[in-house]
Every structure is written in structure tokens, then in C-alpha cells.
Structure 1
């Protein structure tokens, strides 16, 4: 989808960080707006022949560094502001930013674009000093400094939360889920994505996709590689998010991907095939949804596990609803489809569909599966009368990767 946007001066240019230092522009390095010239015209001395055999006077040199933005003595500056500077010799130019106490602020320097970016949001209501130093080399030197003051702490904030936490272990089909306390305007979503970075070990291609204005998921191109390490970071503290709202804080999550455990169900054969790390470890009979309440065909993941529960549909269907104790229930859709033990249908499993849309297995196989699965393990059902609706569960892998990438605002 193509979204037109107004470019904003505070926009962060990339999702990854670029190491470096800070550069500033002010004028001539002497606090004066006029050029500072060095050297002068030395009058040549005659050689006694009566001719003016003067040597050319040396070319004047101009200090070549300056702070472009924020403007000198600017106030109300956003906490994630970029420092822009000029330099004719950026490779030999350094930038430092210090706070009111004189402590240096950590940041990254892009020498190609001549931009310094803070590692994290600056403190609110604080005065900062920027100093750009150009090493004297072939006349390309000079020093420039400037000060600015950040905006007051905003009263309108957007909280960001992660469904997953540090140290968790999840299945290979688990998406990374980020939620916002307020809808993010479409014109700001590309900026948000650039500030959300995912690092997988080993490296794996992937993309963010917007599920709604308040929720964004990340999935790899294919299922996560077994036993991967995944680290993701969301840097939204101080970031403008529209209508006077700003991101409240940053967050990081460090998690683990477990072994590969993939379930495949065929309506044609009424069998489930279970593979662990690519090898078939079990084939078991199932009973799917009958014609009036078909199971969904598509790729889902285990979202919730309950060893013992009660299915109660009497609230939504007082006439035909039921209330039944269930063992080894594993939710795979929001609409109420589960993998679960169904001892009452064991004689039908592998032969005919009799469920209300769930994947029925025997009591013994229900216990066997329950002891081995975890949140994020994928299950793909095929050949039923109904296709899985996107969003009915964590359906991120139910579409091709090319379709998934269309949900991103980074083009």
C-alpha cells in the first residue's frame, strides 16, 4: 500500500543503528557568523632589477565545520532530535554532545549524511551543548559549538508492550507481537517500524506487518530456525506519534526459539502427522468439524494450553449450546477451535468428522501432544470446507511472505 507522508525533520532514517560520533555547525569556529580568514597578502620584495617579482599570496582558508540543526539556542526540541552539521572533511571531524552537567551523551554518527543521532531519547527540559571539531588538514579545520534545550515532558503518551518477555522459549511459528495503547496514525507507522529492530542468530529474513492500528507483528520469511536466538528492540521513547502524543519508553526482549515441532492435518486422510526437527515422530487419527461446523483450513499456531477446562457455548447458543469438560485443550483460533482429547469420538477418529470445528484426538494422544507442544508450535489443516480467516488467531504464516510484506509501511 502506498501512503503519502510529510517528511519530518526528526524522522529516523533507518531501523539499524550506525556507529559514530556527533558533528555540529556554527560558523567559523569563533562564535562569529562572518568567515574567519587566515593568512594575508605579503608584499613581495624587488630583486634589484626594478621588476615586481612577487610570489602569489597564499589562499585564505575558511573554517569548514558548522552546526546546522537544532538552531543555536533553540528550545522545545524533540528528545530524539538529530544533530546535523557541515564539514568539508567529515572523516576527520568529530562531534560531541554534552548535557548540563558536562557529561557526554552516547550517540551514533553517520559521516556520509553528516548526522549524529542519540543512542536513546534525551532528557526532557534539559540544555545540551554540541561541539564539532574539524582536524586541521590542508586548511580543512575549525571548531563550532551550539546549545539547545529539549521540550518539556509530554502529558500525552503512548505506551508500548510486548506479548513475549525475556527468557521465554517459543515454537518456530511464534510471531513477535507489539501493542500500542493508542492507534498509530498511518503516516507515522513507517517511522515506528524503523525504530523496531529484530536480530536473529542465525540471521533470518523477516518483516513487520500491521495487524491493526494498535498492533504490529514480526514473522520470518519461513518458520524460525530451530534453536535460534531472537533479540528485538523498540525505541519509541520521545518519538512523536501524532496529535501531540509521544512514545513513553523503549523496550527490549531477548528470547529463544525451541526445537521444530510441526503438526499437519489432512481432512482427506483424517490423520495428523507430527514432525520434530524435520523427522516424522507420530501419525495419529483425528476427527475434524462436521459439515455444519467445519474446521478451518490454514496455518495456525498454539496460542494457549489448558490441561483441564470446560467448553461452554450456552451463552451464545442457548438452544444448541453445550457445556462439556475437556482435557488437554490447545487453542488455535480466537473463534474457539482447539486441539483436544475427545474420548467420546475415538471410534470416529480417522474415519469421519463429528466435532464442532476442533481437532479431536484420543485421550492418550491428547496427553501425548500436550506434553510436547508449546506456544507458537504451528499446525496446518487442509481440505476442509472452510478457509481460515486472517486474524482468527495468530495467522501470520497463513499467507505467503510476499503477501505478508504488504502489511509493512516500509517500501
Structure 2
């Protein structure tokens, strides 16, 4: 820190300059102290020894009323060592930290957040046994721009084995490594996984965490996104933390074979039920996507309008038992108007259609996060990684390269 270096210079003029540039926490006098602050510059001797019964002094960085956020809080002792340090904000929150081996400095584990007032309290001790207590306050400058986060899945939910953790940012994230360092995933089954960055279907920056393989059923997962005080770059500051926890349910996989025009539900490796379906009419616009698609939401009865997916006025109708699979408009749903084609031909506009009875049963069975593994020669291509949760359509080695920390 520049103010500490300045305090080591010699000469009266330089010592006076050091006294004005260093933010000194003058320790409260102990019972054996005889006067106020030590002479300017005497605190610069960081050798663990005091003189004449005076307590040690302390410097804090950052300091002032418009201090820079996004950096750790650092406390340094001069003329003694640090016994303890506490840093609290106006809301009662605490910045934890650690002392150096020589107990001359303390550094917070986390960065100072923008627009926050902090109080620093330090207990010191000199070599001759003089104890002291010091206190200082500083306030960080407010954020000019705030970045917010939307996340999936929901907190305290139970999800299928293919559900990734997905964070979508309101503004661009240009310092992806700084953000990713603050994202901690904890699992009860020691699951191997990795973050992967992409552009969401909406065009916003997004990062997903997926396991190497489908989740183990029963796994409990926690995300601690300790983002408060992190600068995302041009997108602005994060001013809060995010935390979510969820549980993985039974291993249920829906397999759709559009060559055979049938759908099979497997649970824990055993076939539960198979019934006929009809996929998208072959073609670049109406064909179905192939690959692994993950149930994003169970939307019930919805209105489907072809104009919203670039298909002109091909259809506009209500659809029952709608299970969303992609952002581009792929659903599994009831399609009684296509009954003549179930099990015989693919004649939809891209969705996976089935009878009312089969759709009602499937709707009750599946949960958000269940994978639909779709294959077929008449499909129009593999679903993109950002089109819903297409994360599983990227091999593990390639997925890991999408991390900002690799």
C-alpha cells in the first residue's frame, strides 16, 4: 500500500507527508498508555515491537467516504501485531478474513461491496505486552450500474436427472473468470461437473453448471453465488448474493424414436410405458430437433401460434398438457387432431404429439429436469446448447472448455 511505504521514508517533510496519506487507526489507550497518538512515522516499524508502552497503530485499505469497491479489505499493524480483526457492514453482515502468519496483516476473504458502510475493529498487541483496540469506518462508492441474475431451477425444488444449474445475467459479463470464481456448487454425492458459458437464446450472457453425467438420484445440490462486490465488467456490479438448493429425483428418461414413431418412459433403467407419437413433418422448418432436450416447464393448457416461431399462419390453437422442451417452441403435448398419424408418420410442426390420454399420463409422470432423448432420420438437426437446456449435446471434454477458468 502506498501509504505504508510513505511512512518508512526519513526526513521531517516526508514524515509529515506520511502522516497525511496514511489512514491511521489510533489505538484506544490502554491502562499503561501515557499520551495520544504516537509520533508521525513511528507506526511504520512493522517489527512486532512497541516502545514506551504505546499501543500499536493500524492502517485500513480501502478508506474514505467514496472508497473503491471490488477489492478485499486489508488491515495492517504498525509497531505491533494483530490479535483479532472484525469487519461488519451497516446491516450486521460480516466480512470474514484471515491473519498472515506473522500477524502483521489481515485480509478479508471477500471483496468490499459497492454502496456499503463498513466498520473495522482491530485488537493489537506489542512486544512489550501493550494491548490496544482501534476502530475505523469507511464507505464504498455506490455502483453506477447493477447486474442482476435469473436462475434455474427454483429453490427447494425436486428436479430430474438432467437439470443443469443455469444463471442468466441482465447485463453482459465481460469478466467471466471473476464471476465464475464466486460460484460454488456443493453436492451430497461428490458430483463431478463444470461451468460452461454461452449466449442464452434471449441473447443475454448465461452460465450453466452440469454434471459429467446425469445426476445421481437423491443428490442434494447447493449453489452459493457469492457475487456481492463482484464487478462483472461493462455490465456493472453485483450487489447481492444468490443461494439455491434442490434435490434430484428418480432417474427418469423419456426416449423418443421418430423412426418408429413411439415414446418410451424409463424409470431407474426399467421401461414403464411405451406409446405411439408423431413428430415434426420432415423439413428444415417443420422437422423435430434431435438430441437431448430437457423438460423446462410444465405449462398445462397454452395457446400455440405459429407466427411466434416464424411459421406464418400455419396454426393458432389451444394445446393441452404442454411440456416445454426448447426456447424455440418445441413441446411434447396432446395433439388429438393428428390421431391418424400416431405411430405411423411424422406430421406435426416440430412438436412431439400424442393422444389426450397418453399426454395426460405423461404430464403427471415427468418433472422439470427430465431428459427427452430424441432420435430419428427425419429430424432437422441437433438442438443447440442454448436452445433450452441443450447442454448434454456437447461432449464432456468440449463442455469443460466453456469454463472461464480452464
Q: Which TM-score band applies after superposition, normalised by the shorter structure?
A: 0.7 to 0.9
Moved more, 208-217 or 120-129: 120-129
RMSD over aligned CA atoms reads 3.8
Matched with 1:390 is 385
Counting only pairs closer than 5 Å after superposition, residues 142-291 of structure 1 correspond to structure 2 as 147=136, 149-185=138-174, 188-212=175-199, 214-243=205-234, 245-291=236-282
- Provide the residue aligned with 1:297 in structure 2: 290
Structure in which a larger fraction of residues adopt helix = 2
Residue number in structure 1 paired with 2:405 = 410
User: How many Å separate the matches in 2 of 1:141 and 1:402?
Assistant: 58
Residue 122 of structure 2 corresponds to 131
> Equivalent residue of 1:129, what SS?
strand
Structure 1 pair 178–376 and aligned structure 2 pair: CA distance change class (3 A): same
**Kept in 2: contact 1:80–1:118 (CA 8 A):** no
Map of 1:376 onto structure 2: 369
| Cross-structure match for 1:359 | 352
Number of matched pairs: 353
Match of 1:77 among 60, 63, 67: 67
Q: Distance in 1 between matches of 2:130 and 2:392?
A: 55
Point out where structure 1 has 5 or more consecutive residues left out of the alignment.
1-24, 38-59
Q: Which residue of 1 aligns with 2:11?
A: none
Aligned twin of 1:116 = 107
Aligned residue for 1:174, secondary structure, equals coil
Match of 1:331 in 2: 324
d(CA) in 1 for partners of 2:333, 2:366: 12
> Deviation at 1:377?
1.1
Change in Cα spacing, 1:215 to 1:152, as seen in structure 2 (3 Å) is same
Q: Distance in 2 between matches of 1:352 and 1:341?
A: 16
Residue 397 of structure 1 and its aligned partner are, at CA, apart by: 1.6
Match of 1:107 among 91, 96, 115: 96
**Contact 1:70 1:148 (8 Å CA) reproduced:** no
Distance 1:231 1:173 in 2: 16
Cα distance in 2 between the residues matched to 1:93 and 1:84: 12
Q: Which moved more, 1:354-363 or 1:118-127?
A: 118-127
Q: For each residue in 1:153-184, what CA deviation from the matched residue of structure 2 results, as whole angstroms up to 9, or x when unmatched?
A: 33422223334433222222222222222111
Displacement of 1:215 in angstroms is 2.2
Cα distance between partner residues in 1 of 2:119 and 2:319: 62
Please report the TM-score for the alignment, with normalisation by the length of structure 1: 0.72
Question: In 1, are the aligned partners of 2:113 and 2:140 still within 8 Å (CA)?
Answer: no
Closer, same or farther: CA 181–307 of 1 in aligned 2, 3 Å: closer
What is the CA distance between 1:271 and its match in structure 2?
A: 2.7
